[in-house]
Amino acid sequence: MNIHQFYLRHIAKQTGYRANWEPNRPLFVGAIGKLEDGVFTIFSDLEKEGIMAEIKKDESEGFWDYTSNDTVQIDIKLAGQAPIAGSVLAEADAGFTLNFKSEEAVVFQADKTLTHQIVNVGAIEKAIIPKYRADEWPKDWVIITQLIEAESATIIVSNSRDNQIDLKATANVGTANLKLTDASLGLNVARERGSSLKILAKSGITPLYRVMGIRHPLFGKPQLSTKEAIVLPNDDALEVQDFDPAELEGLKND
């Protein structure tokens, strides 16, 4: 299983949200797109389609940590402390040493998160259904209706067993409360033994989202679904469901 496949599966299982891939790609509430191999690709947005969305902006900040703790060990190294065994960080350095015990392991920490969402779903549904019936709205279009935004986030996806990463702070090294998500530390990779995807203390990131799509059941009228929408094999209906690993079956493992 490649990094892309593992990350999407892991985050969906842990959070119930879809994971943005790549994690630092910009997304926004009201974006319209298609899901291809579990990846959201933007095609339009509600405003461009003449549909007004009422968006509730979150004001209560949170912290999300969905690190696979059974396969990842994170050691904090403060300036002045004795070096960690096996690490290249010197006594004067501050930073982190991460040890990955499995080739499928994730560090996911998002700080000062806000959840933004569309609140006038009923009105949007009434606007979309006529377009859909007039073949003006593709049935595989989905809308981002909920989005997690983080002031900063660190996401590391390892694909090497026994991988070790030393992250060194290049600024504010005297900070007593080191956080992986702290952008002011200027974290750099001092050494890595293995390979991984790394997004270090990235600011203004949108790592998680939910979508709505048209569901055309065998009985009943078309309607919008509040969960994820996947095209059925017969392509004449949509089934409402959470992220399904089957979305990735067409991909070849690396």
Q: Tens-digit pLDDT profile for the chain (254 aa)?
A: 688 899 999 999 999 999 999 999 999 999 999 988 889 999 999 999 999 999 999 989 999 999 988 899 999 999 999 999 999 999 999 999 999 998 889 999 999 999 999 999 888 888 888 888 899 989 888 999 999 999 999 999 998 888 999 999 999 999 889 999 999 999 999 999 988 999 999 999 999 999 988 853 323 345 566 544 444 433 333 333 357 777 787 554 44
What pLDDT is attached to residue 222?
Answer: 55
- Measured in degrees and rounded to the nearest 5, phi and psi for residue 19 equal -95, 135
What pLDDT is attached to residue 224?
Answer: 61
Q: What is the CA radius of gyration of the chain?
A: 21
Element (H or E) spanning 158, and its range? strand 142-158
Q: Write the single-letter amino acid at 144.
A: I
What pLDDT is attached to residue 252?
Answer: 46
Residue 65 CA: distances (Å) to CA of 4, 88, 105, 108, 167? 19, 26, 13, 6, 18
Element (H or E) spanning 151, and its range? strand 142-158
For residue 52, the tally of other CB atoms under 10 A from its CB is: 11
